[in-house]
Amino acid sequence: MAESQHNVMEQMTREGQKIEHASFDVVDKEAGPHNYTAEQWPVVRRMIHATADFEFNGLTAFHPEAVVAGIQALKNGCPVIADVEMICVGLSRPRLAHFGIETYQFISDEDVIEQAREQATTRAVQAMRKAAEKGLLDGAVIAIGNAPTALLEVIRLVKEENIKPGLIIGMPVGFVSAAESKDSLAQLQSVPWIITRGRKGGTTLVVSAIHALLAQAIG
């Protein structure tokens, strides 16, 4: 791998790189035994690194093809469709630019808000419908860390409208439908997915998972 390729996936300073690598070493030592594959563990490790929460060693679950599919989608320069702007902001622009990846989120668009009001749904649902109407979901990495209704809508789109995302990262956090939406995603066999079981989740985890996949994509 060229030095420039290494650098785009690393911290920008040597000291930052040392701290990050030392943190990963701590995670590896303290996480204890796990059942993740060599390709899955870097995703879980980075999620633990981002949250200091070792429960994600166990709470994180993968479709058997998730990592390979996600890496290939990113290598292809697929779009990342997020439920909220925080995911788009949190992702490293240089890392995305290396593969020519664009990010999209529509939750604050005026037409999305208006349709949610008219149809008595949520903005998150309408945002995913807008992404589908724009033809952005097929082959994409769909990144959901906040809104269970967004994830439930994506599942509906897979089942009823035959969208075929490259990977669904379903990690909504919360108390209403969060766990249930992820359990529903885990029942899908036709589309690769990564989830965190139960109530825990969040945009930080989604960003961490995508960064981990980007690092493997460039490797």
The DSSP letter of residue 103 is: E
Cα 143-148-149 angle, rounded to 5 deg:
105
Beta bridge partners of 60: 196
- For 67, 92, 110, 213, the CA distances from 72, given in Å and listed in that order, are 9, 18, 34, 9
Q: Is 49 a catalytic residue?
A: yes
Say how many Å lie between the first and final Cα of the chain, rounded.
Answer: 7
Q: Which of 49, 63, 98, 211 is catalytic?
A: 49
CB count within 10 Å of CB 37 equals 11
In the block, tokens 């594959």 appear at 37
The DSSP letter of residue 80 is: E
The DSSP letter of residue 195 is: E
Q: Which residues belong to the active site?
A: 49
